[in-house]
Amino acid sequence: MIGGPQSPHFVRKLNPAHCVQGAAAVFEYNVTGQPTPIIHWFKGNDQIFSGVHYTIIHTPDGSGSLMVNNCQREDGGLYFCKASNILGEATSSAELIIAQDQEGYISGTEIIQKL
């Protein structure tokens, strides 16, 4: 990276994701920083790790994603990505909205009617 040490900065922030139950939802980001930032994902206050339900991808160019597999009602809510290095940290957050049926969406415990 040209310009020396730099604290993390999201050049592509997370966007809200919509998903029907049983499908997958994806959050994507792009972050810069030197030294290369360490990335952590959270849903609310709980850290998320790769496994059957979540797939986390980080690439050397600073881009990456979180895939929520087989979305269910309880997956709705606020997700955030934290990038940190020795010079600081940056966060980006977005909501996952789960489609309940043709009449509305479920987002956490809140129902938002479709127009």
Q: Average of pLDDT values for 50-73? A: 95
Kindly provide the residue ranges of all beta strands, DSSP E only, lying in the chain, ordered along the sequence. Answer: 6-12, 17-20, 25-34, 38-43, 46-48, 54-58, 63-68, 77-85, 88-101, 104-107, 110-113
Q: pLDDT (tens digit, 9 = 90+) per residue, 9-59? A: 999 999 999 999 999 999 999 999 999 999 999 999 999 999 999 999 999
Per-domain boundaries in the chain: 6-97
CATH of range 6-97; options 2.60.120.200, 3.30.2290.10, 2.60.40.10, 1.10.8.50:
2.60.40.10
* Residue 3 banded pLDDT, cuts 50, 70, 90: confident
pTM of this prediction? Answer: 0.82
